[in-house]
Amino acid sequence: MGTEGESFRLIAGRYRLETRLGRGGMGVVWRATDQLLERRVAVKELTQDTSLATDEARLRRDRSLREARAVAQLHHPHIIVVHDVVEDDERPYIVMELIDGGSLADRISRRGPVDADEAARIGIALLGALGTAHAAGVLHRDVKPANVLLEDATDRIVLTDFGIAQVAGATTLTESGSFVGSPEYTAPERMSGVRTGPESDLWSLGALLCTALSGESPFRRDSLGGILHAVVIDEVRPPAQAAPLLPVVRGLLERDPERRLDAAEAERMLRAFRATGRTPKLSAAYTPGRQQSQRREESGGREATPTISLRKASSRNASSRTADQSPRASGRAALIAAVLVAALAGAGVSAAALLLNSEDGGGGTPKDTATATVSATGSGATEVSPSRTGVAPGTAGGSPVTSTVSPGATEGTRGTAGPSPSAPTAPSGYRLAHDPRGFSLAVPDGFTRSEQKERVFYVSPGETFRLGIKILDPQPGGPLAVMERADANGSSTNPGYRDGRVTATVHAQQVAALWEFTWDGFSAAEGPRHTYDLCWEEGGRMYDVWVSAPVGKVREAKEYFDVALDTFVTAG
């Protein structure tokens, strides 16, 4: 939540910002009122990089607004409606329709995976949305459950956050050598650093369907390097729950974009499954790559958004290779490059920076930030009320963790271990708290500090949201053992403890563990709550950060948790 002053901030003389709904890599989303038309809207406030020179900042704003206006031209029932694009005090804002409902990621987190019929319905809707965007030359480039909204009243499926979309033919924020997106949902040809087309969005849709059916991406690993290796090298293994839709999932997760299942055939198969309840089959007349060939013919042999196959030789070097060498050698080179990147990432080198060369092959460091988001759910701590005593001590909470990697820096750049060129800054609606216990982190405006023995809490008014931090000496077995012990004792420390899940992971290049669970709260009046917890070791100390909230407010809780981890810095 923002401060009271922010709650009634007026922009462009028309839109009144009221309540902060969420925060993503590209900005903050507000619930707002359009005072001219007297309707509720959502307003996305795009983040600004204060380190940029004035001219460069203006250029970036112009590009952001140009891309947003291109998305505003898209009209489809399953694409978020963009009402307006405005500037206020030299900051760009995108005004969109307000969807009352959570994301597909929220739905999976709260209620578990969906069945095959619902997954097929989601897939059909998203294929229609992507088809409209692709026909207009717009790539989404970040298709994932968090960017799919489910409207409560109508069950409408809405694809949102085209914030990193690329408009074909335009020089965009993400085109200057930077990799932006979520690696678990990113196509291998993008991982290999080549410019990509609509087929890359279809790969992402295949990964999304696996997540919807099983609750977890098939490419989830404990590190960025592991994810890169899984996407580019490892055998693709769809989850068992994907069996009813297996031909569609396997077709979309074909590594060679030239052979990937196209949108029309994928939609036909999903509709056939919904109509018959039987596993769909490819049409006898279907030919892989048909749509790509048609696009090249229609554009005179040139695609608006070129797709380069891993198996296709580079045009720059094709003339110097023999016919039997080119495809195989080119594909092998791309894969070897990806393996080296994954190995270096595991050694603590910024994988994103290594992957991302500019399109002309130059080796210079791009000025745009390269962002790689690695999510991992589930891990460890006992929920303790900051205003109560007598509760057995434990360790604290887990949720998706977001790692932001900038070119030329290590993975620990923002709010994590390792050298940092600049101190983390608080996002809009937050303040940077420098705690006397020897750490700092961004907490929402309006949160107040309290202590309970070895724990520090920052809580919202009425304790709706509780952010906890605990620092202790290393424990036997490390973070994973600590979280597993807390999980085993969950029912004795948290009333109505259920759905506990502990996962080993990596945070700030350190061994870590995540714990996620639901429980009944400390009283009937408080009601059921959900807790996210991360525990890791750093500099000879063990750190535990957790957030708990009512089960109906998990989206806000995840945001607070992610921001706390992104900005957490120790004094030592």
- Which residues participate in catalysis according to the annotation? 142
Cα 469 to the chain's mean position, in Å? 24
| Continuous H helices in 136-283 | 188-191, 198-214, 224-232, 246-252, 263-276
Burial class (CB in 10 A: 0-12, 13-18, 19+), 437: middle
Q: Which two tokens stand for residue 50?
A: 């204060």
Q: What are phi and psi of 432, to 5 degrees?
A: -85, 115
Q: What is the three-class DSSP state of 457?
A: strand
Residue 403 has what DSSP assignment?
Answer: -
The label of the residue with tokens 């045009």 reads: 315
Q: At what angle do helices 263-276 and 198-214 cross, to 10 degrees?
A: 30
553 labeled binding residue: no
CA distances from 538 to 281, 507, 543, 562, 571 (A): 52, 10, 7, 18, 12
Q: What is the three-class DSSP state of 307?
A: coil
Cα 141 to the chain's mean position, in Å? 11
CA atoms within 13 A on the CB side of 81: 8
The label of the residue with tokens 């203006």 reads: 58
CA atoms within 13 A on the CB side of 428: 24
Q: Listing from the earlier edge strand, what are the strands of the sheet with 430-435?
A: 430-435, 439-444, 569-570
Burial class (CB in 10 A: 0-12, 13-18, 19+), 452: middle
| CA–CA separation, 572 and 570 (whole Å) | 5
Whether 20 contacts 2, CB under 8 Å: yes
Q: Which residues line the annotated binding site for ATP? A: 44
Cite the annotated binding site by residue number: 44
